[in-house]
Chains A and B, each alone.
Chain A
């Protein structure tokens, strides 16, 4: 057993933390959201320079072939700095879907550009009626004039407005909940019939609702190969779960650090508030939660990388459930320890609750994963 980062991982985490400290300090982030920008272009360029956008891309296509373990420290750093960069959407989600679901020609066409950060893609899978059901797809694909056309709505597409391409799940056969009958398609954001309603989520990050009306689409691979599609979707969701678990644990760490600093500086009744046992106990409980979150973020990374290992799926569900719950507890405690200042947009600590709340709702919330684990008990 080994819980440490290797040399490469540690070096990358170090450079990334420096980049984010420089470009994503809380005041800079506030200015960024106030400007209406969806992300910071210079940071994105910096991520490409560090090789981060190339990290999950296979070596043959200009990347480093990294897995969820390699991404763990990076995602934690994104969580700590409340990043709004389209890294999860493009490098993790769309990248994984292409790697697992696309034929060689399509991979060769897209992944080198995504590795260099020049192409941003987005993963468009969730639908409003499916909510937390992992494989609910109503979007229809039909063959027309030698090509494919898509009709349907994809909700909360992360970084939708920044994407040049969407990787979209659509149904060629069967009912919405069927495990088979789906295929993955590439949709060009500039094509006719592709409309994106852009908005901000409650944590300030950019997302959009993708409305496809007879939109031209290219299958990633043989659309009849339902099994491959299902595995690609599951693998993408697994990578997403590992990434957001890491992100939430990083966010919780930052909220925790802020609160501990505050306990050591804020005075009321003529002494540091950290001298009050009630608050010291709350701090201890928060530390317990934080450590649970960190452990399960590791479990999620390992489970996502070793998807074939027998008990990987239960650990993914357990991790998503447990990290969300524990990270949320840390954020709630951190706000309480701050009193009034914890309730404002002008101070960072409340933003961590907003981020954790949003990430909890992605790839199934804590309830959904508990229900899946519960069903497996029977």
Chain B
């Protein structure tokens, strides 16, 4: 038993670290460090730089622009990106749609889309949730009826993150209203410039525009944009939702935010003394660092165990639950540290004053998206209790 990287892995980590140090524009780094979310142009610019090295989609095969890297190397890339901090590769493209296409798509779909997804020439968003279908996703009602070479789509999606920045959406639509609810769903790729699509912004609790409603009114989608078989879209959805495990614990993010918490606690003073002089605050930081370390090792154990038999069933839910809880606690800690100095609402142009309190509010979403905490606990309970 040991918890060390191999010499090759260490060399790889150093290579990645040097690469990021040399290539990441300092303005992007400073914005992220201060707590701003990455802007679209930052994500695009950085992903293209990574893509030249095959590191935008490192786990994909080389022929589609990946680097055929294993889970540990992928984790190293992710941790180093958080550590910098650098924007992460666009998750809808790289973590979600790409693997779905490789598993269920036609060769033509793979050849067309995968290189563009990796290079972020096309920005995809995820159109799953609907007003009446959140946790109960399979009850979705956005409908697609076949007319010749097209599907005609009618309905509404909600909570569609970055739809206003996106070129395309991958959506779950109902193609058979008679079947059992999971069996009448199809997975469609829809160009957002198609007539009949309306996107309405939703401002979230942090005051920013990340979320949208997307309305479909007689939208014509070529049948060639169906992924997998008609009425088998639920297989794609299940695969997509369970496939994305490497980043689910967000260990690197926890670590980076804790480092920033230390930095701020050294910089902010109370009655003339740095906050770090307060033993209670130091103990709280130390506790969260210990928890982060526990999550890191658990993450390694779960992701790097090669035999399915030795894996805990539903282990992804363990990572999601704990990762979410830690992220939220760390964001609360940061908001506590900036204290009254973090109450002023500032514009996103003020690079050095990040939206620490607003990000704390937004961190509450982590226990809602990607399967709510209640849903994750139900999944785990089913696995352990039966």
Interface residues in chain A, defined as those with a beta carbon under 8 Å from any beta carbon in chain B: 126, 128-133, 136, 155-156, 176-177, 199-202, 204, 207, 267-270, 276, 278-279, 332, 335-336, 339-340, 342-346, 350, 353-354, 357-358, 361-362, 365, 367, 370-371
Q: With A and B bound together, what is the CA distance between A276 and B335 in angstroms?
A: 32
Contacts of A345 in B (CB 8 A): 203-205, 207
Q: With A and B bound together, what is the CA distance between A155 and B339 in angstroms?
A: 12
Q: With A and B bound together, what is the CA distance between A177 and B358 in angstroms?
A: 31
How far, in Å, is B72 (CB) from chain A's closest CB? 34
Can you give 29 contacting A-B residue pairs, CB < 8 Å? A126-B340, A129-B269, A129-B271, A130-B270, A131-B268, A131-B269, A131-B339, A131-B340, A132-B339, A136-B271, A199-B346, A200-B344, A201-B344, A202-B345, A202-B358, A268-B139, A279-B374, A339-B135, A340-B158, A340-B365, A340-B368, A340-B369, A343-B364, A344-B202, A344-B205, A346-B202, A350-B205, A358-B343, A361-B343
Contacts of B378 in A (CB 8 A): 278
Assess the B205–A353 pair: CB atoms within 8 A. yes
Q: With A and B bound together, what is the CA distance between A370 and B269 in angstroms?
A: 18
Assess the B136–A268 pair: CB atoms within 8 A. yes
Interface string of B177-214 (1 = CB under 8 A from A): 00000000000000000000000001111010001000
Contacts of A335 in B (CB 8 A): 205, 364
Contacts of A270 in B (CB 8 A): 136, 139
> A129-B269, A278-B374 are known contacts. Are A357 and B335 too (CB-CB below 8 A)?
yes
How far, in Å, is A323 (CB) from chain B's closest CB? 16
Assess the A156–B204 pair: CB atoms within 8 A. no
Q: With A and B bound together, what is the CA distance between A68 and B51 in angstroms?
A: 63
For the complex, count residues of B whose C-beta is within 8 A of A: 48
Assess the A350–B361 pair: CB atoms within 8 A. yes
Asked whether B106 is an interface residue with its Cβ less than 8 Å from the other chain, the reply is no
Interface string of B349-386 (1 = CB under 8 A from A): 00000000110111011011100111001100000000
Q: With A and B bound together, what is the CA distance between A345 and B135 in angstroms?
A: 21
Assess the B374–A344 pair: CB atoms within 8 A. no
> A136-B271, A336-B368, A350-B205 are known contacts. Are A131 and B345 too (CB-CB below 8 A)?
no
Contacts of A267 in B (CB 8 A): 132
Q: With A and B bound together, what is the CA distance between A263 and B197 in angstroms?
A: 32
Q: Which of A207, A270, A361 has the most CB of B within 10 A?
A: A361
Task: Give the residue of B345, B361, B369 whose beta carbon is less than 8 angstroms from that of A357.
Answer: B361
Q: With A and B bound together, what is the CA distance between A357 and B359 in angstroms?
A: 13
How far, in Å, is A134 (CB) from chain B's closest CB? 10
Contacts of A156 in B (CB 8 A): 340, 343-344
Q: With A and B bound together, what is the CA distance between A131 and B114 in angstroms?
A: 52
How far, in Å, is A212 (CB) from chain B's closest CB? 19
Q: With A and B bound together, what is the CA distance between A371 and B278 in angstroms?
A: 10
Interface SS of A by simple majority: mixed
Asked whether B247 is an interface residue with its Cβ less than 8 Å from the other chain, the reply is no
Assess the A344–B203 pair: CB atoms within 8 A. yes
Q: With A and B bound together, what is the CA distance between A336 and B364 in angstroms?
A: 8
Asked whether B280 is an interface residue with its Cβ less than 8 Å from the other chain, the reply is yes
Contacts of B280 in A (CB 8 A): 367, 370-371
Given contacts A340-B158, A345-B204, A371-B280, 14 further A-B contacts (CB under 8 A): A129-B269, A129-B272, A133-B270, A201-B343, A202-B207, A269-B136, A279-B374, A336-B368, A340-B129, A343-B211, A344-B204, A345-B203, A345-B207, A371-B278
Assess the B374–A276 pair: CB atoms within 8 A. yes
Name the residue on B nearest A133 (C-beta). Answer: B271
Name the residue on A nearest B269 (C-beta). Answer: A129
Contacts of B74 in A (CB 8 A): none
Q: With A and B bound together, what is the CA distance between A136 and B270 in angstroms?
A: 9
Name the residue on A nearest B208 (C-beta). Answer: A345
Asked whether B155 is an interface residue with its Cβ less than 8 Å from the other chain, the reply is no
Contacts of B365 in A (CB 8 A): 340, 343
Assess the A353–B364 pair: CB atoms within 8 A. yes
Contacts of A126 in B (CB 8 A): 340
Q: With A and B bound together, what is the CA distance between A344 and B208 in angstroms?
A: 10
Contacts of A346 in B (CB 8 A): 202-203
Q: With A and B bound together, what is the CA distance between A156 and B339 in angstroms?
A: 11
Contacts of A176 in B (CB 8 A): 271-272
How far, in Å, is B194 (CB) from chain A's closest CB? 25
Interface string of B258-281 (1 = CB under 8 A from A): 000000000011111000001011
Q: With A and B bound together, what is the CA distance between A373 and B158 in angstroms?
A: 47
Contacts of B207 in A (CB 8 A): 202, 345
Q: With A and B bound together, what is the CA distance between A346 and B135 in angstroms?
A: 21
Contacts of A362 in B (CB 8 A): 340
How far, in Å, is A215 (CB) from chain B's closest CB? 22
Contacts of A344 in B (CB 8 A): 202-205, 211
Asked whether B313 is an interface residue with its Cβ less than 8 Å from the other chain, the reply is no
